[in-house]
Structure 1
Amino acid sequence: MQPKQYVEILLQPGEYYFSNDPNTRIRTLLGSCVSVTLWHPKFKTGGMCHFLLPKRKESLKTINHQLADARYAEEAFWLLREDIRHMGLPLSQFQAKIFGGGRMFSGEQGTIADVGYKNIQMAKDLLHRMGLNSVSEHVGGTGHRNVFFDLWSGDVWVRQLPLQQKK
């Protein structure tokens, strides 16, 4: 049940947010970017990242909070894991969901320009490395997605907007 009052956090590309306040909704708008949500059902705590690219061209040898950049999947996942670690909760108890990775231009599917596909694959790979499986996903296709993640319930609402056809 939705609380009477809640805080709504708008994630911009390259941001992430993690909270232990169950009266929180996190939302974002995705194109070829991908968002991953992590949610703990007992403690109603969790977070979402909105990354643009799978990884940096030159990976960091060591990541810390000053260097980590949530524009890259590997680093966004690291930031979320660190917040979970600081809360003292087992990562294995979190539910993961994946959203986005849409093709933003016709004809890019299966090409080197299909950044959305690469982002989806990286999200799945990183979840696998963390020992998590996605319990739900809404990925691929074309166009934009509005994504809303409610920490009070773990529900994620998605509205996909198709690509506008050129006339």
Structure 2
Amino acid sequence: MIVDLKTALEEKKRYQVSPGEHAIATGDVVLTTLLGSCVAACLYDPVNRIVGMNHFMLASRKYIPENRPFLSEAGRYGVNAMELLINGMLAKGAQVENLQAKAFGGANVLPALNRLHSQGSVGEINIRFLRNFLQRENIPLKSSNLGGTQGMLIHFFSADYSVYVKPVGKGLSSNIAVKEQRFADKALEKRERKAPEVELWYPRR
């Protein structure tokens, strides 16, 4: 159990994960990200001691139905983000049957974008997708801090798979919202160009 967070962060190698990115690591490291409406899946294989984190938003002008999160452009984007992370971990030696998850983010910090949709906030859709994905792939969700109205800073420690969460104030949450809006707009632009889909595969359970 890490007691002194500041000292632990100073002593360990740290990787910052930005929107649309993911990171995979072995050894004693920390994966860090700042979340608003986006969600982060923190995956780990405790047998082979491999960890990974992604940071994504389901960027689409159409929300996905309540129980069908994979049958839309938004769903395909989310599946791609998850499979990039899982495939990368398997390439490092992780095994699908060992994977466990912790999930964070999905706050309601994008009220302007939320008005474009009818099935909940952007954060709620991201949460719904991530929960459904993990359930479909039989990856246990061991803990989570999802929803709310504030952004959060998270640190994922590979040493014991603990995740430290620090809520951020309204001012920083607003800044996060602006950056996430830009990220969503760019993702929409790329999708509208109809770039070829990349299909990634890993062994299903």
TM-score with structure 2 length normalisation? 0.65
- For 1:79, the equivalent position in structure 2 comes to 84
For residue 120 of structure 1, the aligned residue among 99, 115, 127 is 127
For residue 90 of structure 1, the aligned residue among 66, 90, 95 is 95
Q: Which residue identity is paired with 2:50?
A: T
| Whole-angstrom CA distance in 2 between matches of 1:92 and 1:3 | 30
Cα RMSD, aligned residues only: 3.0
- Unaligned runs of 5+ residues in structure 2 are 3-7, 61-71, 172-205
Q: Which residue identity is paired with 2:156?
A: F
Contact residue 52 and residue 89 of structure 2 kept, 8 A: no
Contact residue 44 and residue 154 of structure 1 kept, 8 A: no
Quick check: 1:19 aligned with 2:25? yes
**1:14-59 C-alpha deviation (Å, 9 max, x unpaired):** 1000112x22101010000000000122332110000021677377
Q: Secondary structure at the match of 2:55?
A: strand
Contact residue 35 and residue 49 of structure 1 kept, 8 A: yes
Moved over 4 A (4+): 1-4, 105-113
TM-score with structure 1 length normalisation? 0.79
Q: Which residue identity is paired with 2:143?
A: S
Larger radius of gyration: 2
| Whole-angstrom CA distance in 1 between matches of 2:108 and 2:21 | 21
Structure number with higher helix proportion = 2
Contact residue 11 and residue 28 of structure 1 kept, 8 A: yes
Contact residue 54 and residue 122 of structure 1 kept, 8 A: no
- Unaligned runs of 5+ residues in structure 1 are 61-71
For residue 57 of structure 1, the aligned residue among 66, 69, 73 is 73
- For 2:109, the equivalent position in structure 1 comes to 104
Quick check: 1:161 aligned with 2:168? yes
Quote the sequence identity (%). 27
| Whole-angstrom CA distance in 1 between matches of 2:119 and 2:48 | 41
Go from structure 1 to structure 2 and tell me whether the alpha carbon gap of 1:152 and 1:58 turns closer, same or farther (over 3 Å shift): closer
Aligned length: 154
Which has the larger displacement, 121-130 or 109-118? 109-118
Structure number with higher strand proportion = 1
Contact residue 58 and residue 75 of structure 2 kept, 8 A: no
TM superposition shift of 1:4: 8.1
